[in-house]
């Protein structure tokens, strides 16, 4: 049975597929593509079979494929609407032969143990009910020694936190409303969602959960004054 949190995320973002990448870039002041590129750079060049979970419009999947000429990528997402937009992007990029998009859920991956040499996921853990169980499931499908990497929004520290609060409380909802009612709803949702996740999963606790899921050499890098974070590790 689909969890309420997962269903809400799917319904919230479903209408935004055709405009998602354009406005995610604008509303993040151009930082979202930069974060994605750093995420992809954490994946070793010799990882030839990679799974991208919560692939959305396939932006990360496309970068993964471009980063390795012999690489095959499967992009998985719960939203058929986002996958439809992703399929158009993959075709436009001429990567239909190397990227396969599938509908599915991170909590129950339709793949065998150790099937992939690396795995990425983006803006996922805020939308699952059981973070440790989801991490274990993600790690399960990666071979020993393979890399797992994630991208997520983060909370800036110090003097930047009040500016972040002002933006997510006022600026982001207002800017979203200019675009569409759907983006207005996303603008009002993101601040509480990000704040609530890091309240429940402060960085040290989250990194411990990665290690407990079977990952070693776990590292994290905050980006853009702390507004984003990339975490990566190796399956033990």
CATH number at residue 40: 3.40.50.150
Residue 180: what pLDDT? 62
The average confidence (pLDDT) of the chain is: 87
pLDDT at 236 over 90: yes
pLDDT at 7 over 80: no
- Average pLDDT, stretch 191-200? 89
- Average pLDDT, stretch 88-107? 96
Q: Is residue 110 part of a domain?
A: yes
pLDDT band at 30 (very low <50, low <70, confident <90, very high): confident
Instruction: Say if residues 123 and 151 touch (Cβ distance below 8 Å).
Output: yes
- Average pLDDT, stretch 205-217? 98
pLDDT at 146 over 70: yes
Residue 181, Cβ neighbours under 10 Å: how many?
10
3-class DSSP string for 66-117? HHCCCCEEEEEECCHHHHHHHHHHHHHCCCCCCEEEEECECCECCCCCCCEE
- Average pLDDT, stretch 48-72? 95
Q: Is residue 133 part of a domain?
A: yes
Cα of 225 vs its chain's centroid, Å: 19
Of residues 194 and 121, more confidently modeled: 121
- Average pLDDT, stretch 201-205? 97
Q: Is residue 16 part of a domain?
A: yes
- Average pLDDT, stretch 114-136? 96
pTM of the model: 0.87
pLDDT band at 175 (very low <50, low <70, confident <90, very high): low
Lowest mean pLDDT among 91-100, 189-198, 208-217: 189-198
Instruction: Say if residues 208 and 233 touch (Cβ distance below 8 Å).
Output: no
What is the domain count for the chain?
1
Q: Is residue 215 part of a domain?
A: yes
Q: Is residue 88 part of a domain?
A: yes
Q: Can you give the residue range of the structural domain that contains 112?
A: 4-156+202-235
pLDDT band at 162 (very low <50, low <70, confident <90, very high): confident
């Amino acid at each position: 049975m689909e969890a309420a949190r997962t269903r809400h995320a799917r319904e919230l973002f479903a209408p935004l597929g055709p405009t998602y990448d354009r406005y995610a870039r604008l509303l993040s002041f151009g930082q979202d593509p930069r974060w994605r590129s750093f995420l992809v750079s954490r994946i070793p060049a010799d990882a030839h079979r990679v799974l991208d979970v919560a692939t959305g419009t396939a932006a990360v999947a496309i970068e993964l494929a471009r980063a390795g000429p012999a690489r095959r990528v499967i992009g998985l997402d719960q939203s058929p609407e986002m996958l439809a937009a992703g399929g158009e992007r993959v075709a436009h990029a001429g990567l239909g032969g190397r990227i396969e998009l599938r509908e599915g859920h991170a909590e129950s991956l339709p793949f065998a143990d150790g099937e992939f040499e690396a795995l990425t996921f983006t803006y996922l853990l805020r939308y699952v009910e059981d973070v440790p169980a989801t991490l274990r499931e993600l790690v399960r499908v990666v071979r020993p020694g393979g890399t797992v990497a994630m991208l997520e929004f983060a909370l800036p520290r110090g003097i930047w936190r009040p500016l972040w609060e002002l933006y997510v409380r006022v600026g982001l909802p207002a800017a979203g409303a200019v675009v569409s009612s759907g983006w207005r709803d996303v603008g009002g949702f993101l601040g509480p969602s990000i704040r609530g996740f890091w309240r429940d999963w402060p960085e040290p606790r989250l990194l411990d959960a990665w290690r407990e899921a079977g990952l070693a050499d776990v590292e994290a890098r905050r980006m853009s004054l702390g507004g984003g974070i990339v975490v990566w590790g190796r399956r033990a």
